[in-house]
Structure 1
């Protein structure tokens, strides 16, 4: 598979429902909110930016980030998921790279932060591979890793 065929597009009237139908693997269910909850959250928190992940024009994943800085003086990634049928193909890493490029355009962007459960090995591998560093920051049950731009 050529990951150059991966793109991210804003969630809209055409792709919101396909985003809601995506599912993570059973082992990942406790690690992330559903896409439906995330999309609803973005309607009540307008600084959240939800995107569909497309492969050859088909919705295969979802991501969301905040467009205002938060804790640790950074812009936070809220969600990133790839449907269980499309995992382990490099789609998540390519989509995360595209998301980071978008986030770098945010006003005064100096740092990107993401939190995840420490037992989520897939998230750890993804973010470590993108250059995120664990500085020991913890928020409840989640660890936060940082990418300084």
Structure 2
């Protein structure tokens, strides 16, 4: 595997929109199309494709949240056809390494649906620690860097 994060451009954004999670995961996160629209209005956030070589296998949206001054992973997904092959772990490591390089990054946070057992397992395997439930109902996890 040659996993890397790739800037989304006018040439590849449609490939990103075509990525989708498994049917039983669709209630856990917003679509990539929605995320690409949303990131246009989040000043300190970026949306990137997760590639294996030249092929896009996933998507991430992350950045600095001005509300708490921590870096957050707002969206992280691997396309259903690439799940179960290790892309989640390797892609998440790439995202964490990328965020660690950001100025002032000391804590990386993520929120996810409490019923999303796969997400919880993935984040725990990467060293994220449980931070309780958010007022909006998501389970929170954080990684000190």
Q: Distance in 1 between matches of 2:5 and 2:56?
A: 9
Q: Distance in 2 between matches of 1:127 and 1:6?
A: 18
Equivalent residue, structure 1, for 2:47: 50
Trace 1:94-109 onto structure 2 (pairs within 5 A): 94-109=90-105
Task: Choose from 52, 72, 75 the match for 1:76.
Answer: 72
Gaps of at least 5 residues in structure 2 are: none
Once the two structures are overlaid, the 10-residue window that deviates more, 130-139 or 99-108, is 130-139
Aligned pair count reads: 145
- Taking only aligned residues, the RMSD between alpha carbons, in angstroms, comes to 1.3
Equivalent residue, structure 2, for 1:22: 19
Equivalent residue, structure 2, for 1:33: 30
Gaps of at least 5 residues in structure 1 are: none
Contact 1:70 1:76 in 2 (8 A): no
Task: Choose from 91, 100, 121 the match for 1:125.
Answer: 121
Q: CA deviation at 1:46?
A: 2.9
TM-score normalised to the size of structure 2?
Answer: 0.94
Q: Distance in 1 between matches of 2:43 and 2:131?
A: 29
Please give the secondary structure, in 1, of the residue aligned with 2:84.
coil
Q: CA deviation at 1:115?
A: 0.1
Q: Distance in 2 between matches of 1:63 and 1:74?
A: 17
Q: Distance in 2 between matches of 1:56 and 1:101?
A: 18
TM-score normalised to the size of structure 1?
Answer: 0.91
Please give the secondary structure, in 1, of the residue aligned with 2:134.
strand
Task: Choose from 4, 8, 12 the match for 2:9.
Answer: 12
Q: CA deviation at 1:68?
A: 4.5
Contact 2:8 2:49 in 1 (8 A): yes
